[in-house]
Amino acid sequence: MTSHRPTAPGTNGVATEGLTSATQAVAIVIPVYRSAPNALEAIALAQCCKLLGQYPIILVCTDTFEIRPYLQLCGEHGIEPLVECFDQQCLSSVKAYNQLLFDRHFYQRFAKYTYILIHQLDAFVFKDTLTYWCHQGYDYLGAPWFEGSDESTAADPLLPWGGNGGLSLRRVGAFMAVLTPPFPRARVRTWDDLWRKYRGLSLVGKAWRFHRLLHKYLRKSNLYGNYLATPKMFEDGFFSMVVPRVFPGFKVAPAAVGMFFAFECQPRRLFVLTARELPFGCHAWERYDPGFWQPFIEAFGHVMPPARTPDLESRA
């Protein structure tokens, strides 16, 4: 795949809000759930304050969360963040957080902004090109994926679409539009999606499984509107793959553009594809090749702590 920088704003048939000023155009939304940030999260939050402090920074937490350690860290960098509180269960687990991002009411909290940047604390930003990205006309923008995702190898191809949600730019109006009824009677998992799993089977095997496929395809929970209530996939995959099929006007940045916005899996390979240009930021830098990222992060004056086992509760 040939990579290229986006050069002109796009248009979108789902949402029509225009950008206003830089401060009202976009806000940084940071979910927090740990009683105090660990060493790497503190580095990520400090970097966000330093590079993106001119934009509104909003901490998202539960209504009973003790937020003071995060407010103190932001204050050390001259930032007084806003705080948005949600019900206790909304950040109780990866599944609960995932469900929250399927809820239009989450995006309604940020309706005064044209875009929000979801910045989980396992992300890191390298430069402030945020206003530039807001002017590219995408509804969803995140780090591209390789086939195989977490288990991808150097031989696996780059997927043409995608956007990891851990560091992602989202047009608020577009997300509210695709999450607000009435919904089209489209099916989330198409017949081709389901049949692909069984292509390697013999004809007898396919015939034996046919009734199971038909049931999965026809059941009510496979309808777009019903699926939102009990989603079975991660929200970033849903907004990258399913939503553009159901709502053709929902514009997801292609991989050749997304790689200049963020890296996640296989950062060395993406670095070659971008002709050694660092992106706006990266996600899961401790999980995916921390040795690659360390010199770039330390170049900002941060001291990396000794390597540790990645947090199993890190939000994908």
User: Tens-of-pLDDT digits for all 316 residues of the chain?
Assistant: 444 444 333 333 344 345 555 448 999 999 999 999 999 999 999 999 999 999 999 999 999 999 999 999 999 999 999 999 999 888 989 999 999 999 999 999 999 999 999 999 999 999 999 999 999 999 999 999 998 777 777 788 898 887 899 999 999 999 999 999 999 888 776 645 554 555 566 655 655 565 565 545 556 667 888 889 888 889 999 999 889 989 999 999 999 999 999 999 999 999 999 999 999 999 999 999 999 999 999 999 998 887 654 443 444 4
Is 251 in contact with 137 (CB distance < 8 Å)? yes
Its sign, for the CA torsion 24, 30, 31, 32, is negative
Specify the pLDDT at position 160: 87
Give the closest residue to 293 by CA, choosing from 260, 265, 255. Answer: 265
The CA distance from 134 to 60, in Å, is 21
- How big is the chain by its Cα radius of gyration, in Å? 20
Structure tokens, 135: 């002017």
Specify the pLDDT at position 307: 61
3-state DSSP assignment of residue 140:
strand
Neighbours of 117 (CB within 10 A): 27
- Would you call 205 exposed, middle or buried from its count of C-beta atoms within 10 A (0-12, 13-18, 19+)? exposed
The CA distance from 212 to 205, in Å, is 12
Specify the pLDDT at position 198: 56
Specify the pLDDT at position 11: 31
Specify the pLDDT at position 213: 54
Structure tokens, 311: 């947090």
Whole-prediction pTM value?
Answer: 0.84
Is 26 in contact with 118 (CB distance < 8 Å)? no
Which stretch of DSSP H or E encloses residue 125? strand 123-125
Specify the pLDDT at position 227: 85
First to last CA, the chain: 25
Specify the pLDDT at position 197: 57
Specify the pLDDT at position 209: 62
Specify the pLDDT at position 315: 42
The CA distance from 222 to 237, in Å, is 16
- Would you call 282 exposed, middle or buried from its count of C-beta atoms within 10 A (0-12, 13-18, 19+)? buried
Is 28 in contact with 61 (CB distance < 8 Å)? no
Specify the pLDDT at position 170: 98
Q: Which domains does the chain have, with CATH numbers?
A: 22-183+228-298 (3.90.550), 191-222 (no CATH)
Which stretch of DSSP H or E encloses residue 235? helix 235-237
CA distances, 285 to each of 32, 34, 108, 195, 308 (Å): 18, 19, 30, 35, 13
